[in-house]
């Protein structure tokens, strides 16, 4: 009974669309193609061919085979973590000169670069490498993530983990801000913000 009601409803919907002129009133051959509505059935509607049935957005969007493109998939916003944004900021300063006590925007010492990069990302960090080594959450070297602040030389030097075993840091006088392997300096610890 329910199947017959669905079929009758589909026939009435097609007939109603014809009556209100939802598609062109063209003469159809007497032997029109049957119309198949997935999940409902196949119908012979005199004077109407399947090619005359219009695509009705919102009604046929989810019927398999009717609209093969389907509805657009939702797009997730592109977001990055605080640490990733800090690394992106620090990367813009690769090659900038090292100046003891400088905190940017044109020259840096080690902790000045870390503080400046995180400020660009939206977080104020302590100014000195020792204070940076004591702030945040401790992270094991095996669990480093992009943006973690790494301390070297007993906490007297800091840099930002850039991924792939590398750190961005302002090393010393005569050396610009650069990317270097974490293993190139004596590792002391890391903090996550």
Supply the pLDDT for residue 140: 97
Identified catalytic residue from 110, 133, 146, 182: 110
| Size of the chain in residues | 193
Q: What domain range includes position 128?
A: 82-192
Inside any domain, residue 121: yes
- Is 186 in the same domain as 107? yes
Give the orientation angle of helix 110-121 with respect to helix 82-91, to 10 degrees.
120
For residue 12, give the 3-state DSSP assignment: helix
- What is the domain-level CATH number for residue 167? 3.90.1720.10
- Is 87 in the same domain as 177? yes
Catalytic site includes residue 155: no
| CB 135 within 8 Å of CB 193 | yes
Catalytic site includes residue 166: no
Identified catalytic residue from 169, 170, 171, 193: 169
Residue range 65-122, pLDDT digits in tens: 544 455 556 666 667 899 999 999 999 999 999 999 999 999 999 999 999 999 999 9
- Is 19 in the same domain as 86? no
Identified catalytic residue from 157, 158, 161, 166: 157
Number of domains in the chain: 2
Residue range 9-33, pLDDT digits in tens: 555 554 554 444 444 444 444 556 6
- Is 10 in the same domain as 90? no
The mean pLDDT of 41-58, rounded to a whole number, is 63
Catalytic site includes residue 110: yes
The two tokens of residue 145 are 């993530």
| CB 149 within 8 Å of CB 160 | yes
Residue range 122-135, pLDDT digits in tens: 999 999 999 999 99
């Amino acid at each position: 009974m329910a199947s017959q009601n669905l079929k009758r409803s589909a026939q009435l919907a097609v007939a109603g669309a014809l009556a209100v002129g939802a598609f062109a009133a063209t003469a159809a051959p007497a032997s029109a193609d049957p119309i198949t509505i997935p999940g409902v059935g196949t119908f012979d509607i005199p004077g109407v061919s399947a090619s005359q049935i219009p695509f009705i957005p919102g009604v046929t969007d989810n019927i398999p085979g009717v609209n093969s493109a389907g509805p657009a998939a939702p797009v997730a916003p592109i977001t990055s973590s605080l640490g990733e944004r800090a690394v992106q900021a620090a990367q813009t300063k690769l090659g900038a000169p090292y100046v003891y006590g400088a905190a940017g925007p044109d020259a840096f010492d080690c902790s000045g670069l870390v503080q400046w990069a995180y400020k660009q990302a939206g977080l104020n960090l302590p100014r000195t490498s020792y204070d940076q080594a004591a702030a945040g959450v401790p992270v094991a070297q095996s669990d480093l993530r992009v943006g973690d602040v790494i301390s070297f030389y007993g906490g007297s030097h800091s840099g930002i983990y850039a991924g792939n075993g590398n750190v961005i840091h302002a090393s010393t006088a005569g050396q610009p801000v650069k990317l270097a392997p974490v293993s190139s300096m004596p590792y002391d610890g890391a903090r996550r913000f």
